Every structure is written in C-alpha cells, then in structure tokens.
Amino acid sequence: MELFNTLGDKIEKLEPVGAPELRMYCCGPTVYDYGHIGNFRTFLHVDVLRRFLRQQGMAVKFVMNVTDVDDKIIRNAAAVGKSIAEYTKKYEHAFFEDSDALGIERPEVVARATDSIPDMVTLIEKLASEDIAYRAEDGSWYFRIARFPEYGKLSRKDFEGIEDGARVDVDEYEKDAARDFALWKACKPGEQSWNTALGCGRPGWHIECSAMAMKYLGQSLDLHCGGEDLMFPHHENEIAQSESATGKPFVRHWMHVRFLLVEGRKMSKSEGNFYTLRDLLLKGYRASAIRFLLISVPYRHQMNFTFESLTESTNAIDRLRTFHQRMLKGGLADGLDEAIAAVTAKTETDYTAALADDLNTANARAAIFELVRAANSAADAGTLRAGNVKEILRVLDLFDGVFAVLKDNDATITRAALTWAETEGRLGEASSELVTKLSLSDEDIDALVAERTQAKKSRNFARADAIRNDLLAKGILIEDSKDGVRWRRK
C-alpha cells in the first residue's frame, strides 16, 4: 500500500520496518466533552486504513491514547466540583460508545495519560540530563526548541533564530507559537498534581503522546495518525522531544486527516453548526449513513458536510442493503453469466487498487456501485446465475470488511441514543418523527406484517391497507414481491 507521508510531503510505500507488525499510533480524544463529527472523521479514516491493512494480510498493532488530564479537563472538572477521574470517565465511556455506533474497531491498546505519569517523568529526566529540558523558576520544566535544529521538519515551517528561553506554558497554543514548550507544569492551587522526582505538578500535553507511543510501540514507530490541526505544534513537538531523547527517528510515516466543513463553514458552536454524533442521531439520521458519508471523501480532501449529502448517504446505504438481500435470496439457475463475472472481477481489482492508492475511498465506493448497477440489471433481465452470486457476495464481504455498513443495527443504536437523551434530560431535542418511528420494536412490526398478510388472505383488504398505512406513518415501508413480504425503516 502507498500512503501520503506528511514528513516527506509525498506518497510512499507503507510497511512495517524491524518488526513483524505495523506499529501504528493515533492521537485519540481529549475527554472533556462529547466528540464531534470532525473528530470522528479522523478516527473513521484511521479505522478504514487499519481494516484494509489487515484485509491485505498485514499484522497491525494499534495504540490510541486518551488524554484524561489537560487544562480544559482541569477547568471543567473544577467547575462542576469533580475530580478529573470522575469527570473524564463519563466522556471516555461516551467516546467509545459513539465509536462502536460508528463501527470503529477498538485499538489493541488504549493508553490513558494518567496511567503513564512515571514514563513521562523518565522521558523528561532524560531530556534534562542532556540540558534539553530545563527547570523554570516556578518549578515547571520546558523543552529547549533551539537545541533541536530540525524543529519544523514536519510542518515545514521556518523557525530559524528561535530565542532560547522564550516560553509558552499553556496547552491552547497559538498556531504560530515557536517558543519553548512545557513538559511538566508546576503545581497550582486546586489542580490535581503528582509528586515526582521533577517536583509536584502534572504533565504537559505533548510529552504524554511521546511517552505512551514509545512505551507500547518502541522508540521508532511505523505510522502516526491524527487530524491536520495536530501537525503543529503537537506533532512537531512530539518529534522534537522524542528524537532528542533517543537519537532515533520517532516516526517514519505521518498521516493527517483534513478538516471538516459544515455547510461550507468551519464547524463551531458560535456558528451554530457544531454537531456531535448524538445530535445527529436525535435528529433522526442513522449511524451507518453518518459513517458512510464521513469516509466517502478521501482523507486528504477537505470534506463539506451537508444534510443533503447525509440524506444521499442514507439512500446509498438502502441501495446497498437491498442489493445485498437480493443476492442472498438465491433461487437462481446454476451457471455463470460471463459478462457479470468480468464486472465482478474488475470490481474487486478496482476496489483494492483504490484503497491501496492513498486510501481512495471515493474510487473504492464507486467500484462497488458499478457492480450493484450491473448485477441488478442482469437480475432484472433474468441472466444472473448462481455462480455469479457467490462471487458477488464475496466481493461485498471484502467491501464491508472495510466500509462496515451492510449490517443494519441502526434502530438499536438510535434507541440507545434516545435512552441517553432521556437520562440526560435532553429528550426534547429528539425529533417527534424519530420518537414515532421507534415506538415499534422489530417484533411489533413482524407481528403487524404477519397480521396484514393474514388479512389479505382472508380478503380483509381494509384491515390490510390500514396496517400498511399505519406502518408507513411510522416510517416503516412494506414491500411486496414475488419472493414474499419484507419491511424496512425509512
């Protein structure tokens, strides 16, 4: 596989070096609030990459950190009178619930910052022994940027003439800040702290990822992922402190996912276009459609999220699932339609080539829909054969092993969101249409469909029509076909 490497500013082959598995790290959530769809776009593309690498036979060890101590967490926890452990537990749990809902597979290792304080202290002590880290008057420790001549090689910024000793000690950095950054922050009244050989305090943000990445993956990583907003200063600082401590390249390959726009504007609460996954679920949108939309635009392209495109994504999911069910029904004559066999083989080749070419999810998706179009046409014409279906289902399995949208558990996910909203006192945010749609369980619908079928057999067409219309009003579509009756939620 070839993937764009931010460090070299070019597409390069991605492969493990010096180990039987690809050592992969991703900057995970800072758990001070619910994750928004911009966050999840990054994590979804990382999930797609990891799934595809494994599908192609590459072993992957994936580590993701959880930042459970930083300025925002400390400030928010103090505002509600909780310890940071109590405060972050809720949002970490919510992050993984949302990840599961979006089909994001769990990492092999979830590394929490507060579990690795001794590793951070050891790393800072190493830097201090080389006079690269120094202690300020208040007891905080800083990294001397001037002692790392390659500073800026990732973001390709020019930092020549950096003044040694000019410091910045907050986590909410100015994007053009090029000053010595905090490795360890001295105790402040009311803040949680740790008593260590460095003195009383807590870690800076950047040292957390360096310490945890090297703790679990060694001094040199194969791949480091994250959103483009982390490139500077966070990833630049990770490189500086890690390579200064070890004398080795910290990461061979850097992957950065572009920003997400919403309706053409930068997403922000002040703009009124800030959405979490839960916000969208309460509006009646499906988790599968959100996943499919967020991964449909390749990771190096800026994506414009719109509600029109989310509706289109929902329709695309329905088309895929309907096609999949059609292929599963069987009942076709033996043999092979050679033209469809050729389309199926080309689809597999094009799908694999697209993802192997810098994770081009748009082209991979297009290849699958070409197969759907051709196979549906053949089925309608009566030329599709059982031998074709076997290969089509195999290719669909390949596709779903990465895109993960064919399984329909959307209603279960949305019900869980409604339960959460009720617990949090936010049920009023759910659309009335959504509440109506989910007022019936799958078992209730099955029973009504069975009653309708019996009513038709008894020639009680008024009752059959009444059931159909009632279900339609609640977002349930009944489809009669020669193969029987099926239903689906709109």
Structure-token pair, residue 403: 């895109």
Element (H, E) at 201: strand 199-203
Which two structure tokens, joined as six digits, stand for 247?
A: 């004398």
Q: Note whether 61 and 50 are within 8 A (CB).
A: no
What are the pLDDT tens digits along the chain (490 aa)?
Answer: 999 999 999 999 999 998 789 999 999 999 999 999 999 999 999 999 999 999 999 999 999 999 999 989 998 998 999 999 999 999 999 999 999 999 999 999 999 999 999 999 999 999 999 999 999 999 999 999 999 999 999 999 887 666 665 566 555 444 445 589 999 999 998 888 999 999 999 999 999 999 999 999 999 999 999 999 999 999 999 999 999 999 999 999 999 999 999 999 999 888 889 999 999 999 999 999 999 999 999 999 999 999 999 999 999 999 999 999 999 998 899 999 999 999 999 999 999 999 999 999 999 999 999 999 999 999 999 999 999 999 999 999 999 999 999 999 999 999 999 999 999 999 999 988 888 777 777 788 888 888 898 998 899 988 888 888 888 877 788 888 766 788 887 7
Residue 94, SS3 per DSSP: helix
User: Which residues have a Cβ under 8 Å from the Cβ of 481 and sit 6 or more positions away?
Assistant: none
201: left (phi over 0), alpha (psi -120 to 50) or beta: left
CB 387 within 8 A of CB 334: yes
CB 450 within 8 A of CB 476: no
Domain ranges for the chain, please list them: 2-257, 265-403, 414-489
Using left for φ > 0, alpha for ψ between -120 and 50, and beta otherwise, residue 379 falls in alpha
What is the chain's alpha carbon radius of gyration, rounded to the nearest angstrom?
26
Among candidate residues 119, 124, 126, the one with its CA nearest the CA of residue 136: 124
Burial 340-368 (b: 16+ CB within 10 A, else e): beebbeebbebbbebbbebbbbeebbebb
Which pLDDT score is estimated for 174?
41
Q: How many residues does the chain have?
A: 490
Pairing relationship of beta strands 133-135 and 109-112 according to DSSP bridges: unpaired
**264 φ/ψ sector (left φ>0, alpha ψ -120 to 50, else beta):** left
Q: 10 Å Cβ neighbour count for 122?
A: 15
User: Is there a contact between 105 and 60 (Cβ–Cβ < 8 Å)?
Assistant: no
Number of neighbours of residue 420 by Cβ within 10 angstroms? 16
Give φ, ψ of 30 to 5 degrees: -95, 115
Beta-bridge mates of residue 194: 201
Q: Helix, strand, coil % (nearest 5) of the chain?
A: 50, 20, 30
Strands 484-489 and 194-196: unpaired
Q: With contact defined as beta carbons under 8 Å apart, do 358 and 378 qualify?
A: no
Backbone dihedral angles phi then psi of residue 106, each to the nearest 5 degrees? -70, 145
Using CB atoms within 10 Å of the CB of residue 382, give its burial: 0 to 12 exposed, 13 to 18 middle, 19+ buried: exposed
Please state which of the four CATH numbers 3.40.50.12710, 3.30.930.10, 1.10.730.10, 3.90.420.10 is assigned to the domain occupying 265-403: 1.10.730.10
Query: Containing H/E element for 141?
Result: strand 141-143
- 441 by DSSP, 3-state: which? coil
CATH number of 2-257: 3.40.50.620
402's tokens: 């990465």
State the sign of the Cα–Cα–Cα–Cα dihedral 291, 297, 303, 306.
Answer: negative
* 3-state class (DSSP) for residue 68: coil
Q: What is the pLDDT of residue 434?
A: 83
Taking the model in full, what pTM does it have? 0.90
pLDDT of residue 446: 87
Other C-beta atoms closer than 10 Å to the C-beta of 124 total 28
